[in-house]
Structure 1
Amino acid sequence: MTRIVVIDNHGQFTHLEQRALRDVGVDTEIVDNDTPPEELDADGLVLSGGPSMDRIGNCPDYLDLDVPVLGICLGMQLIAAELDGRVGGGDYGGYADVDVEIVDEEDPLIGSLAPETRVWASHADEVKELPSGFTHTATSDVCDVEAMSNVEDGLYGVQWHPEVAHTEEGQEVFENFVDICEQA
């Protein structure tokens, strides 16, 4: 059975990410972000959202585990910041419903949501510049980089929270990520 571990970055929705994965039918658990990388046994990782880049624990080391990684909100920002991208404050700020345009319909994580989807997202911080090797996969009027992917390295990120009920096609994001993990 496919096993996907949710890394807890101390966000308020982490338990919902685990539930969404359980609903897809995978073995899943939540582990704290200070867990040593060698103790993680998984076919894929979800880097949860969280309140601060100052509390990311061992997350940078998890990017080297050679398994697909899905970064959600802070998790996406962490991927960008660690891999030569740039993160900065957003113009909008807090949580809101946002219409997101899918700009890469071939993307294995979110391409199936094209042409657009409605999501729940926080934009206090956001990716301002993509890391090398990444493709810009979604945008909105609120945030230029709503999603990004590096298919070759198995690294994916979404600014929004697919695990909450306000996100219309969030479960499909998790289903697509499970497919990515099973094909890796």
Structure 2
Amino acid sequence: MRVGLLYYGGQYNHLILKNVKYLGAEIEVVSPSRTVDEVKGYDCLIFSGGPQSVVEELHKMGNSPQFVREVQVPKLGICLGHQLIAHVLGGVVGRAKTPEFGLVTVEVEDNDTILQGLPKKFRAWESHNDEVLTPPPGFRVIASSETTRIQSMVNEGSSIYTVQFHPEVKHTEDGIKVLSNFLQICRK
């Protein structure tokens, strides 16, 4: 199984690589400047975090909007990737009223596949100024926090998952389980 990791300059990308390899999958960093045809060769895609704002700097994310819309493989969006997927598919992304940095308590509203096996409440690492304010059509919210209503969401076909928090860092309780759940989806 080959996983493509879209790289946007995020500080935790090396941890995504390390954890996915630890879980037994082949993973490769993918530049957003690659073509759709080049990216179609992966079994699934992870859209990582980064310092950009999708509202103001989507032009810096190369062909990522096309990857979201046209590459028909399971997808996981993390932080910026969560916002990117929401924005491209018709959701609303904007400045957070209360940006989150550090640990927050995430509450699972729907124990969907990506959050399966996680406790109803867990602590997660956050690092964001923007947030998803309205999910795209066909998505449902499956987790929230005190200040961010959309911490995690999934589409109707259960092929696109997103999380605002960083499951790849050790500070996120059971974060490795989120990555493991996603890889199980990719293997099916």
TM-score by length of 2: 0.92
Q: CA RMSD in A?
A: 1.2
* Counterpart residue number, 1:67: 73
Identity %: 39
* Counterpart residue number, 1:25: 24
> Which whole-Å deviations, capped at 9, do the CAs of 1:52-72 have from their partners, x for residues lacking one?
121221111112211001000
Q: Which amino acid aligns with 1:15?
A: H
Q: Secondary structure at the match of 2:96?
A: strand
TM-score by length of 1: 0.94
Aligned pairs for 1:1-184 within 5 A = 2-40=1-39, 41-52=41-52, 53=54, 54=57, 55-63=60-68, 64-105=70-111, 107-152=112-157, 154-183=159-188
- Rounded Cα–Cα distance in structure 2 between residues aligned with 1:33 and 1:161: 20
- Segments of 5+ residues of structure 2 without an aligned counterpart are none
> Which whole-Å deviations, capped at 9, do the CAs of 1:58-102 have from their partners, x for residues lacking one?
111112211001000010101111111000111222521011000
- Rounded Cα–Cα distance in structure 2 between residues aligned with 1:92 and 1:159: 14
Kindly state the Cα deviation for residue 29 of structure 1 after the two structures are TM-superposed: 0.9
Deviating beyond 3 angstroms after TM superposition, the runs of 4 or more aligned structure 1 residues are none
- Rounded Cα–Cα distance in structure 1 between residues aligned with 2:156 and 2:25: 21
Q: Which amino acid aligns with 1:20?
A: N
Please tell me whether the aligned partners of residues 116 and 181 of structure 2 are also in contact (alpha carbons under 8 angstroms). no
Please tell me whether the aligned partners of residues 98 and 142 of structure 1 are also in contact (alpha carbons under 8 angstroms). no
- Rounded Cα–Cα distance in structure 1 between residues aligned with 2:46 and 2:160: 10
- Rounded Cα–Cα distance in structure 1 between residues aligned with 2:20 and 2:163: 16
* More deviation, 86-95/140-149: 86-95
Kindly state the Cα deviation for residue 112 of structure 1 after the two structures are TM-superposed: 2.2
- Rounded Cα–Cα distance in structure 1 between residues aligned with 2:110 and 2:30: 32
- Rounded Cα–Cα distance in structure 2 between residues aligned with 1:111 and 1:123: 24
- Rounded Cα–Cα distance in structure 2 between residues aligned with 1:31 and 1:123: 22
Please tell me whether the aligned partners of residues 96 and 120 of structure 1 are also in contact (alpha carbons under 8 angstroms). yes
Q: Secondary structure at the match of 1:76?
A: helix
- Rounded Cα–Cα distance in structure 2 between residues aligned with 1:13 and 1:56: 17
